[in-house]
Copies of this chain bind each other. A is one copy, B any other.
Amino acid sequence: MPGARVVLVGVQESGNIGMVARAMKNFGLRELVLTAPQAAIGPESFKFAVGARDVLEGARTVATLDEALAGVHWVAAATARPREEYPGEPTTPREVAPFLRAALEAGQGVALVFGRERSGLTNAELDRAHFVVRIPTDPGFKSLNLAQAVLVLAYELFLARPGTTEAPTPAPAEQVEGFFRDLEGFLLEIGYTDERRLPHVMRAFRRIFHRAAPTAGELSMLRGLIRQSRWAIRREAERWR
């Protein structure tokens, strides 16, 4: 499936990278990106990758999630536990797969993002996702390991028939992040919130805009709105000086 990448954030076990590669390749995923890994690709990885050597050899290592998501249009991030910050939001692999498949067929980039073995993804990392995905398990025992979680998502993506939705191509992740940085600065400038409450407020804004998934053109409009507001503020400030 060209255009689909698996992003492991802060992976901690060398062997797991290999198991992930093997799980991916069974379901047609070849592009693996390690973000700030705490373990390296080594003999343990190749041992567990078995025939998926090429996935490991082609893996890229980057320092930040920004780099990992460059060029990606849709981000689905896996979480193991309910987060109160995302009330009612997590979706399931089966629900999200047809949409992601349709996006891929339309030539849009998709990233499946997975967190650290022990602690998962931070809230800031989850904030990058259009879809927070939780794999349904027995409520009494939720203990899928990293490669098992990758396996389930890859399997669902592989089996999904593309949805019929013709979603417009959203702007790539890095442009959206640029907008969020603008917005953040602007919210502080205008006293909409303070530094302490900023993360909470931004989370709510992110949710709104991720749901909207603006196109590049729409994003320009949004950034233009902030620019224009700043200009108006500056003009008023100068008027009273």
Contacts and interface: CB of A to CB of B under 8 A. Distances in A.
Interface of A: 22-23, 25-28, 50-52, 94, 135-138, 141-145, 148, 151-152, 155, 158-159
6 contacts: A25-B138, A26-B148, A28-B138, A51-B141, A52-B143, A136-B159
Given A138-B158, A151-B151, A151-B152, 19 more contacts: A22-B143, A22-B145, A23-B148, A25-B141, A25-B143, A26-B137, A26-B141, A26-B142, A26-B144, A26-B148, A27-B137, A28-B138, A50-B143, A51-B141, A51-B143, A52-B143, A135-B155, A148-B148, A148-B151
B26 A138 contact: yes
A145 B48 CA distance: 10
A80 to B, nearest CB: 11
A148 B26 CA distance: 10
Nearest to A156: B155
A171 B150 CA distance: 39
A159 B94 contact: yes
A150 to B, nearest CB: 10
A2 B116 CA distance: 33
A161 B26 CA distance: 26
Given A148-B151, A151-B148, A151-B152, A141 B52 contact: yes
